[in-house]
A = this chain, B = another copy of it.
Amino acid sequence: MKTPKRVHYFGKTKTEGSKEMKELLGGKGANLAEMTSIGLPVPPGFTIDTKSCADYNEMGGVLPEGLMDEVRENMGIVEQEIGKRFGAEDDPLLVSVRSGAAVSMPGMMDTVLNLGLTDKAVEGLARISGNRRFALDAYRRLINMFGDVVMGVHHEKFEAEFDRVKSEFGVVLDTELNESGLEKLIDAYKSVYRQGTGEDFPQEPYLQLEKSIEAVFKSWNIPRAVRYRQINEITGLLGTAVNVQTMVFGNMGEDSGTGVAFTRDPSTGLNKFYGEFLINAQGEDVVAGIRTPQPVEEMVTWRPEIYEQLLEIKNILENHYREMQDIEYTIERGTLFLLQTRTGKRTGPAAVKIAVDMVTEGRITEKEALLRVPANDLNQLLLPTFAPAAKRDILTRGLPASPGAASGMLSFTAEDAVDRAHAGESVLLVRKETSPEDVSGMHSAEGILTSTGGMTSHAAVVARGWGKCCVAGAGEIVIDEAKRVITVGGRTFGERDVVSIDGSTGEVMAGEVQKQAPKLSEEFVSLMSWADQHRTLRVRTNADTPEDAARAREYGAEGIGLCRTEHMFFEGERIVGMREMILAETEEARRAALAKLLPTQREDFKGIFTAMQGLPVTVRLLDPPLHEFLPHDDQQQAELAERLGVSPEKIKARVTQLHEANPMLGHRGCRLSITYPEILEMQVTAITEAAIECRLAQIDARPEIMIPLVGIDKELDILRQRAESTIALTARERGYQELLEIPIGTMIEVPRAALTAEKIAEHADFFSFGTNDLTQMTFGYSRDDVNNFLPDYIRQELLEKDPFQSLDTAGVGCLVEMAVAAGRRTNEDMKMGICGEHGGDPASIEFCQKAGLNYVSCSPFRIPVARLGAAQAVVK
């Protein structure tokens, strides 16, 4: 049996990969091959494929047979091309080893540089480079990286030695350490290595290489990598590829440098070359945010010809990839090398602008543009910004690393941010710089503020990927992590102080700053119009005030899919009327209390129908258990008692009587209307009267009545009849003669409703899937309690995603599909939609499209997401 090819070469001699081979070669490897093919200056090397990583991990950590032979063979080609030998004592070929999966995961994977250096080769490098300090520095970096990343010796142990040697030599900066200092440091590092691993630092180049390759394979399954994939919902990958590539050095002196760049502005999408560079530095120095780099435009003053070359490369790349690229480059003694290109991460607004601009530029089609914008990212366009007129107490200004507006109390560690966010606090994560260990905390925080690092630092890249607000490199801020305070301009802020950051300006402000709704760009409008042309799903909104309805309409809502009525009973005086109704002991008293609520309820509906005129408004009848409306503490009960002129004991008794062990599964939804028909009658009367009054005022009100929590066909049968009689009676009483068609439908949110949908459909004009409750009951998860175990479930990969955020297609989805099929058997043309929070989740929308629903309904801010998601579901 022939062993499969595992190593793929790229270089002048031959190039075996291409950008289509991402699955196998990872993004980085595929693009190194692609760039080589199209003639860009890429240092030669080879890629070990992702299959090998999968095999390695499957076999429990054994390198696939023959792999190292293939590696040596390919290294031979590199050696021939470059004219150096790997780790040779005279003029060593050095290589880097980098991971690269099919999907980019910035900072999550480990890199080892300068492989091939040994005690002897370092002197060869010193000779040939004419820069012994550089060679020694490269060697100490290797020992440190290899010890830390490959062998698991703690980085801080190396750092401690560095500090010790620097102080011994009386210097402060790393770069100030001279050759003999570096010699000492290398010895010290070797001791650290020996202590940490029990063996000497390997002097055999291929042993260094083999161990590094293994380390990359292993890093695929370290917790932070797993966690990153979870947060970003990355699944289905084999593993990571390993890229072995000739080293080029940006730190060979003042004629060398390194940088990163985007072919367009990743923050705004402007078509302008955008990046940073550091002179005399290695790539890691830029990304890690240790030194703050210069904007790439400033390269004109340093090496104009290289800047020109970069602009040319920008064009070549965009023409070739038809996508905005994120590149890494190094200038070694005046020669430019490209080390990486990949699709650039960008903010939501940038994604929209780039996609639409590329259509205008003729690079891509409208359909492609629709797929270029992750639907969820549209959220960012709708996030509030700070109001221009708001007072800003500006403390300092950092880099506008990821747009948005965030306010929160200061949090100084990732763990703290996670805990406090979980406890419901809004926090701002403040770090000198962030690292992959911080991702959970960054995810939990409202925003991220760092005091060092640039636009392409870890914090900035990760935050932009999520659309989370970030201000980076705010160097005037002094962070005292131990004392948990920051000091800036002589002012001190602690854990309970609120600070605001503006990710679009870089401003850092004291206190909470007033926010405002965002303005929508032209490009956004174009993209949405394309989405509307392609999608077949209607998009409605969940709204229960005229204001929300109007906002949703502005965002493109085509009706209200869920107008909850319970919120209407909590406002001001209304709650008193509601409580009076609940405390009533006879139907008569209940009716009297309800009669008082009727006018306000009617006015609410009029407002909503008016805001939505010409579009359907699905009103859900009262859903929550009655005890939610009663006060539970003594004082409030006493106040209510006085107000209603009854004894506090009576109120306490009623509260106790209404208490339920599992209110979620209790006396709520349509069950209330079965026992208290007068509640339904009041609500239906209010809806009908509102509709009549609107129509008389020439407002095209289109109410629909939705009966919640139906589980038995007869429930809907009876309640529908009751609602129909109430509508007819109300119209008669109002002397309204015109046709008043008010469709009556039901939520499908109880598993039994889905299972018996064929019979329920006999009494329903429409089905609306309440996937929140359906998820609760299908899984047996109380949404209020699920945090006791769901995080464990996600961590242990029992569940890929939180089923309350993204619809569980295997279980809940199965019920939805059954109900759609059953409902359509009874009534072929029945209108069906979804009104759980899944209605605004693109993956769930795709499911809805496949399941054959007619519409999704989501919160106003998710409307554009849903419109785009619906279009993508079709275009895909």
Q: Is A830 an interface residue (CB 8 A)?
A: no
Contact A755 B798 (CB under 8 A): no
A463 CB to nearest B CB, Å: 31
Q: Which of A563-603 contact B (CB under 8 A)?
A: none
By a CB distance below 8 angstroms, the chain B residues around A340 are none
Given contacts A675-B789, A751-B751, contact A661 B664 (CB under 8 A): yes
By a CB distance below 8 angstroms, the chain B residues around A810 are 752, 755-756, 759
Contact A662 B751 (CB under 8 A): no
Question: Of B751, B789, B808, which one neighbours A815 at CB under 8 angstroms?
Answer: B751
Contact A666 B777 (CB under 8 A): no
A189 CB to nearest B CB, Å: 37
A678 CB to nearest B CB, Å: 14
Contact A662 B798 (CB under 8 A): no
Contact A711 B811 (CB under 8 A): yes
Given contacts A674-B796, A785-B660, contact A752 B773 (CB under 8 A): no
Contact B674 A715 (CB under 8 A): no
A743 CB to nearest B CB, Å: 23
Question: Of B750, B752, B799, which one neighbours A712 at CB under 8 angstroms?
Answer: B799
Contact B785 A661 (CB under 8 A): yes
A590 CB to nearest B CB, Å: 15
A714 and chain B: residue at smallest CB distance:
B798
A657 CB to nearest B CB, Å: 9
Question: Of B664, B709, B752, B778, which one neighbours A755 at CB under 8 angstroms?
Answer: B778
Given contacts A667-B785, A714-B798, contact A780 B750 (CB under 8 A): yes
By a CB distance below 8 angstroms, the chain B residues around A674 are 789, 792-793, 796, 798
A720 CB to nearest B CB, Å: 13
Given contacts A675-B789, A782-B660, contact A756 B712 (CB under 8 A): no
Contact B667 A789 (CB under 8 A): yes
In the bound complex, how far is the Cα of B810 from the Cα of A652, in angstroms?
Answer: 40
Q: Is A797 an interface residue (CB 8 A)?
A: yes
Q: Is A302 an interface residue (CB 8 A)?
A: no
Q: Is A718 an interface residue (CB 8 A)?
A: yes
Task: Among A715, A778, A780, A785, find the residue whose CB has the most chain B CB atoms closer than 10 A.
Answer: A780
A404 CB to nearest B CB, Å: 33
Q: Is A58 an interface residue (CB 8 A)?
A: no
Q: Is A829 an interface residue (CB 8 A)?
A: no
Contact B663 A661 (CB under 8 A): yes
By a CB distance below 8 angstroms, the chain B residues around A542 are none
In the bound complex, how far is the Cα of B671 from the Cα of A799, in angstroms?
Answer: 13
Contact B811 A781 (CB under 8 A): no
Q: Is A784 an interface residue (CB 8 A)?
A: yes
Given contacts A660-B785, A674-B798, contact A750 B773 (CB under 8 A): no
Contact B750 A784 (CB under 8 A): no
Q: Is A779 an interface residue (CB 8 A)?
A: yes
Q: Which of A786-829 contact B (CB under 8 A)?
A: 788-789, 792-793, 796-799, 808, 810-812, 814-815
Q: Is A776 an interface residue (CB 8 A)?
A: yes
By a CB distance below 8 angstroms, the chain B residues around A815 are 751, 755
Question: Of B667, B796, B799, B808, which one neighbours A788 at CB under 8 angstroms?
Answer: B667
Q: Is A665 an interface residue (CB 8 A)?
A: yes
A711 and chain B: residue at smallest CB distance:
B779
A791 and chain B: residue at smallest CB distance:
B675
In the bound complex, how far is the Cα of B797 from the Cα of A712, in angstroms?
Answer: 11
A400 CB to nearest B CB, Å: 41
By a CB distance below 8 angstroms, the chain B residues around A675 are 788-789, 792
In the bound complex, how far is the Cα of B788 from the Cα of A660, in angstroms?
Answer: 9
Contact B788 A666 (CB under 8 A): yes
A669 and chain B: residue at smallest CB distance:
B780
In the bound complex, how far is the Cα of B793 from the Cα of A718, in angstroms?
Answer: 11
Contact A782 B715 (CB under 8 A): no
A802 CB to nearest B CB, Å: 13
Task: Among A752, A778, A784, find the residue whose CB has the most chain B CB atoms closer than 10 A.
Answer: A752
By a CB distance below 8 angstroms, the chain B residues around A811 are 711, 751-752, 755-756
Q: Given A714-B797, A759-B810, 17 more contacts at CB 8 Å?
A: A660-B782, A662-B665, A663-B782, A665-B776, A665-B780, A666-B788, A674-B789, A674-B792, A674-B793, A711-B780, A749-B780, A751-B777, A751-B780, A752-B808, A755-B810, A755-B815, A777-B777
Ordered nearest first, which 3 A-B pairs have the shortest CB separation? A662-B782, A665-B782, A752-B811
- 11 example contacts (A-B, Cβ-Cβ < 8 A) are as follows A660-B788, A663-B782, A664-B782, A665-B665, A665-B780, A674-B789, A674-B793, A674-B796, A751-B815, A756-B810, A773-B780
